[in-house]
Amino acid sequence: MAVYSGGMSRRTSPSPPAADASGRPLRADAERNRQRIITAAQEVFAQRGIEVTLDDIAHHAGVGVGTIYRRFANREELVEAIFDKEIQRVIELAEEALTREDPWDGLVHFFTAAGQDFAEDRGLREVLLVGSHGKDRVAAARDRLTPAINAVLERAQRHGSLRDDIEVTDFPLIQIMLGAATQRTKAVSQDMWQRYLTLILDALRTSRERPTALPQPALSQEEFDRAAP
Amino acid sequence: MAVYSGGMSRRTSPSPPAADASGRPLRADAERNRQRIITAAQEVFAQRGIEVTLDDIAHHAGVGVGTIYRRFANREELVEAIFDKEIQRVIELAEEALTREDPWDGLVHFFTAAGQDFAEDRGLREVLLVGSHGKDRVAAARDRLTPAINAVLERAQRHGSLRDDIEVTDFPLIQIMLGAATQRTKAVSQDMWQRYLTLILDALRTSRERPTALPQPALSQEEFDRAAP
DNA sequence: CGTAAATGGAGATGATTCCTCCACTTCTCT
DNA sequence: AGAGAAGTGGAGGAATCATCTCCATTTACG
């Protein structure tokens, strides 16, 4: 009963073929299954978080659990394999923001692009924002991420567009807040987080005369109820 | 090994003595234990959420699980008994906000008081904001809450201080976001949510020239890591 | 002090998860 | 083509964990 469903978002790029412990490359069918497992894990983690069972992932990949355990020693190893790649991407996003000409624009772009990644990937939120899972790996990633975020923020502050009292740790906390809004509303609207990001950006500006137009209409009471998990 | 620890915050008011099914009042020791159970449940739900086991609550109350099951048919019944009271309090907060003279002031006060309640009570957040638990009871409560919130918001909008594009469902979503920030930071600071509420209030104003001073300094990187669950 | 009420907490019951194991299938290489 | 190595699925062992029941014992109270 295969439920494998093919590619996911732009974040996916095929992993390089893996070799066996003794250096021998994987048999063709094994390699194919390995890719399926990785893709399935990305999708399932993204949709339902890191707590999902390996049985779920196996089922989604259309393989047996045994097959997963043949390639990954245990759950943790699979989780790492997936999120090393995804965390890397967020770092690139921050570095890229610095190349934008207008500092405020760079900041907005960074908050939005990261928000998009987090909105699409519950697993990524849980690993990178909530903590508690795979501490070491994540701490290392954060050490690369922090200076980049800092640069984005400070550049916008010198420029006068970002209020002075914002610091690095505000970024993950804002993303955590947006993630919570996403979680609560995603059953009904994928992009509600944009409404709240726009609000928060209005808060981050040094000053403003009028509200920025919100990109999403508020949920109706009925939608809000329907979205309840 | 009793761990019963006495009163909690202002939210506590002793429940009226309960009567047995046949109308007979409870024996003195039974009544005492019933109160202990209720208090313990409030405390434990508040600290660790509704998912805690009844064993935990029993232990915290210094009674056996059997004693809980003697008073409450099952888990769900206990949860309801606790949160009916707490939800009621939030409703009162909204109604009270309308009595404040300045509309913006009323709104700020309401968001803050509710934020405080949610920050102190993880169980309340889970029941009232996240949904998924005790749908019916909560839906009923929400029907009373909604008009009150609406009144608070509309009054501030007519007054010109609150931006026009905010609606009722923004309130619970903002509280959800603050709750997420609280959850992530509470191990290190109880009041971080105030920093982010202040930011959000700056977003909700129709216009402003300067940032409002933030009531809490940002977390340091080290604190942020240490706060990880 | 006798009796009805109340109690504690071990354990029955039922989920749930991770991971192992091995009879069987599928590849690959000569 | 056929032997042997590599790979596979998924039932089920082992561990954990939560709800709720049961009853020998303790406690309150007329």
Tens digit of each residue's pLDDT (9 = 90 or more) over B75-99:
999 999 999 888 888 889 989 999 9
In this model, does residue A65 exceed pLDDT 50? Answer: yes
Is the Cβ pair B228, A181 closer than 8 Å?
A: no
Mean pLDDT of A202-222: 97
Chain A: nearest CA to B150, how far in angstroms? 11
b/e per residue A32-50 (b: at least 16 CB within 10 A): ebbebbbbbbbbbbbeebb
Helix (H, G, I), strand (E, B) or coil at B55: helix
Taking CB atoms within 8 Å and a gap of at least 24, the contacts of A84-87 are: A84/A137, A85/A15, A86/A11, A86/A42, A86/A117, A86/A121, A86/A123, A86/A124, A86/A127, A87/A124, A87/A127, A87/A128, A87/A137, A87/A138, A87/A141
Is the Cβ pair A130, B229 closer than 8 Å?
A: yes
What is the pLDDT at residue B3?
A: 39
CA at A53, C1' at C17: how many angstroms apart? Answer: 7
Is the Cβ pair B199, A196 closer than 8 Å?
A: no
- Tell me the percentage of chain A whose pLDDT exceeds 90: 76
Is the Cβ pair A218, B131 closer than 8 Å?
A: no
In this model, does residue B220 exceed pLDDT 90? Answer: yes
Distance of CA A152 to the CA centre of its chain: 19
Ranking A6-20, A40-54, B145-159 by mean pLDDT, the lowest is: A6-20
Mean pLDDT of A181-194: 98
Q: What's the pLDDT tens digit per position in A66-99?
A: 999 999 999 999 999 999 888 888 889 989 999 9
Helix (H, G, I), strand (E, B) or coil at B227: coil
Chain A: nearest CA to B210, how far in angstroms? 5
Contact residues, chain B, for A137 at CB < 8 Å = none
In this prediction, residue B21 has a pLDDT band, given cuts at 50, 70 and 90, of low
What is the pLDDT at residue B7?
A: 35
A133-142, A161-170, B14-23: range with highest mean pLDDT: A161-170
CA–CA distances in Å: residue B199 to residues B31, B143, B205: 46, 28, 10
Torsion of CA A206, A210, A212, A214, to 10 degrees: 130
Hey, what domains does chain A have and what are their CATH numbers? 1-72 (1.10.10.60), 82-226 (1.10.357.10)
What is the pLDDT at residue B85?
A: 84
Which residues, numbered 102 to 131 in chain A, qualify as contacts with chain B under a Cβ-Cβ cut-off of 8 Å? Answer: 129-131
Q: Is the CB of A63 under 7 A from strand D?
A: yes
Distance CA A125, CA A181 (A): 12
Quick one: B21 exposed, middle or buried, by C-beta within 10 A (0-12, 13-18, 19+)? exposed
Q: Is the CB of A66 under 7 A from strand D?
A: yes
In this model, does residue A7 exceed pLDDT 50? Answer: no
Q: Which of B122, B199, B214, B219 to mutate to test the interface with A (most CBs of A within 10 A)?
A: B199
What is the pLDDT at residue A84?
A: 83
- Cβ proximity of A11 and A88 under 8 Å: no
Distance CA A71, CA A226 (A): 40
Q: Is the CB of B69 under 7 A from strand D?
A: yes
In this model, does residue B8 exceed pLDDT 50? Answer: no
